[in-house]
């Protein structure tokens, strides 16, 4: 068996010296490891800061791009539905980028705690606005110490307080209202008396006005179909079938029909209307048909009118011209609309009770030129390797000439008709004369079937309607009021896809009329509908106009002031 010989010295002093050397070497290794860990932490912190700064910069760039896009849209007049969709996409992109930037800030702050030499990246944030005064405040007071944490003394004196406000929400709560109706018997005549049952919009129904208003607004204002609402109600512990909810919607629409008729009369009493229509799919046998929702908007705010704005919707199974003729059978005045041929009989000189006067929409005219001069779109297609249309300098100049007219209109928006007319005669009339001469000259250089010739003829053939705004200060240059009112329909189509029947389309027209008219008057449609449904049964018929959105708003303001 071999004997193992130790390499360590036997001298104690030598062993101590060797141990000191080993300790110093271990300390050096530890210091090197700590330094490496610190350098790694600093590198990680710098990387986190750089990533946070990059995400913050990207969010800021997206924010500026969105602002520029909105300003361009305002500066160069109305744009197509495609541009609105682009703005919506930019809004969604900005939401994600803002969330990424905030997450990057928190990651950088957590990482820099490990690195003492690296300061956390601080993103510039906009100043926080105070919460509205009307929100309920719940005061939570943190108990004060009974003694001084520093010296233990008990002679504490309050100097003031700091209040931190945190926004929170109370989950939706449901309740069942039990209305007790006591019965009494007369000892003299033996007759039994009892108070009448409370009013329900649905006969023998059990839905309260606030619930009905929420149901209607979610379906027609927030575009949530009844089946999705039923699923959410079930998750909250209130199982209700879709058919039950549909019964409530149908009965509520029937109860609100008198208000629809009053709004219809108010809209058709205007001397100037905006008209437009859009598609709405409707169920048919084994397929869907393309029906139409029409809107007529009364909005006198551009020329400082006193009458409240309102929107009137109608439904039809097709787009035949007989529908707008029926909608406006008893009306005559100024109609601002696109060049749809179905309106032509309204403009006939022998129409009864009087011919409708056509006012052209410069937004439609500009759009035809803009599509031929869309440099940005052509560049995007070229970068993707797609075939892009030709960019025409004539179209670009036409857009610039029309934008000069829009610039004048923005300066006189909200002024009286006489002020608007004076400015138009002074500034816009010369531009329109130059535009007519220029368009006529350019048309002579183009072939008949050229796209530019079609865009030019769209204006020249309707030149009287396009110059109408030069003779009447009430006329607007665009039909944007009607297009804004119709915007709820394309948004809804993405959620509910189609109407179930023609009656469903007619019901949608009634509810869109009520909700959009409320929005035009800057009131909460759901609060208004809840109050109207609670009062309409007992409200005198001759005073039903008091429940219209603009009258209801004044009453609510007086009650708030009181």
Residues 6+ apart with CB under 8 A from 211: 248
pTM of the model: 0.76
Closest CA to 508 of 528, 516, 392: 516
The pLDDT value given to residue 518: 96
The pLDDT value given to residue 490: 81
DSSP-derived secondary structure for 84-150: HHHHHHHHHHHHHHHHHHHHHHHHHHHHHTS-TTSPPP----PPPPPPPTTS-----PPPPPSS-TT
- How far is the CA of 291 from the CAs of 115, 315, 407, 494, in angstroms? 65, 8, 37, 16
Distance between CA atoms of residues 63 and 100, nearest Å:
14
Closest CA to 343 of 312, 362, 320: 320
User: Residue 53: how many CB atoms within 10 A of its CB?
Assistant: 17
The pLDDT value given to residue 33: 74
Tokens at 4, concatenated: 């193992």
The pLDDT value given to residue 376: 55
By three-state DSSP, how is residue 283 classified?
strand
Domain boundaries, the chain: 17-112
Q: How many CA atoms lie within 13 A of 160 on its CB side?
A: 2
The pLDDT value given to residue 90: 56
The pLDDT value given to residue 1: 44
The 10s digit of each residue's pLDDT in 170-202 is 888 888 888 898 999 998 888 999 888 877 776
Query: Can you list the residues of the chain whose pLDDT is less than 50?
Result: 1, 4-5, 75-81
């Amino acid at each position: 068996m071999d004997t193992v010989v130790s390499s360590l010295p036997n001298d104690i002093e030598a062993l101590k010296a060797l141990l000191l050397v080993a300790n110093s070497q271990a300390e050096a290794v530890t210091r090197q490891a700590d330094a490496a860990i610190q350098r790694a932490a600093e590198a990680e912190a710098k990387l986190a800061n750089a990533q946070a700064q990059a995400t913050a910069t990207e969010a800021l760039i997206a924010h500026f791009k969105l602002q520029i896009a909105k300003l361009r849209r305002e500066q160069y007049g109305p744009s197509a539905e495609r541009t609105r969709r682009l703005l919506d996409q930019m809004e969604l992109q900005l939401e994600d980028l803002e969330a990424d930037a905030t997450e990057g800030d928190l990651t950088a702050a957590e990482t820099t705690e490990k690195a003492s030499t690296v300061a956390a990246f601080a993103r510039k944030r906009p100043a926080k606005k105070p919460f509205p005064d009307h929100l309920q405040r719940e005061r939570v007071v943190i108990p004060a110490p009974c003694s001084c944490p520093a010296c233990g003394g008990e002679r504490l004196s309050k100097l003031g307080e700091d209040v931190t406000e945190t926004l929170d929400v109370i989950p939706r709560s449901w309740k069942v209202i039990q209305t007790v109706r006591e019965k009494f018997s007369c000892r003299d005549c033996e007759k039994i008396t009892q108070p009448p049952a409370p009013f329900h919009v649905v006969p023998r129904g059990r839905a309260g006005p606030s619930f009905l208003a929420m149901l209607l607004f979610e379906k027609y204002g927030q575009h949530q179909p009844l089946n999705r609402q039923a699923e959410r109600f079930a998750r909250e512990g209130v199982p209700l079938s879709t058919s039950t909810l549909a019964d409530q919607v149908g009965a509520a629409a029937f109860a609100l029909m008198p208000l629809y008729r009053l709004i219809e009369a108010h809209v058709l009493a205007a001397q100037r209307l905006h008209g437009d229509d859009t598609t709405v799919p409707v169920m048919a046998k084994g397929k869907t048909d393309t029906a139409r929702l029409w809107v007529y908007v009364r909005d006198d705010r551009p020329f400082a009118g006193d009458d409240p704005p309102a929107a009137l919707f109608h439904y039809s199974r097709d787009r035949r011209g007989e529908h707008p003729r029926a909608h406006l059978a008893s009306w005559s005045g100024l109609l601002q609309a696109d060049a749809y041929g179905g309106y032509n009989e309204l403009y006939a000189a022998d129409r009864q009770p009087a011919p409708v006067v056509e006012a052209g929409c410069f937004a439609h005219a500009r759009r035809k030129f803009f599509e031929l001069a869309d440099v940005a779109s052509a560049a995007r297609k070229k970068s993707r390797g797609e075939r892009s249309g030709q960019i025409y300098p004539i179209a670009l100049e036409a857009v610039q000439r029309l934008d000069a007219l829009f610039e004048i209109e923005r300066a006189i928006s909200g002024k009286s008709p006489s002020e608007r007319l004076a400015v138009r005669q002074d500034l816009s009339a010369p531009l329109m004369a130059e535009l007519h001469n220029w368009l006529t000259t350019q048309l002579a250089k183009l072939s008949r079937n050229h796209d530019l010739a079609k865009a030019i003829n769209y204006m020249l053939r309707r030149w009287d309607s396009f110059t109408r705004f030069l003779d009447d200060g009430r006329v607007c240059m665009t039909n944007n009021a009607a297009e804004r009112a119709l915007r709820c329909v394309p948004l809804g189509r993405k959620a509910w896809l189609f109407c179930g029947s023609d009656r469903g389309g007619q019901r949608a027209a009634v509810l869109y009329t009520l909700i959009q008219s409320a929005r035009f008057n800057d009131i909460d449609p759901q609060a208004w509908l809840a109050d109207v449904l609670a009062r309409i049964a007992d409200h005198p018929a001759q005073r039903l106009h008091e429940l219209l959105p603009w009258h209801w708003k004044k009453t609510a303001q007086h009650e708030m002031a009181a």
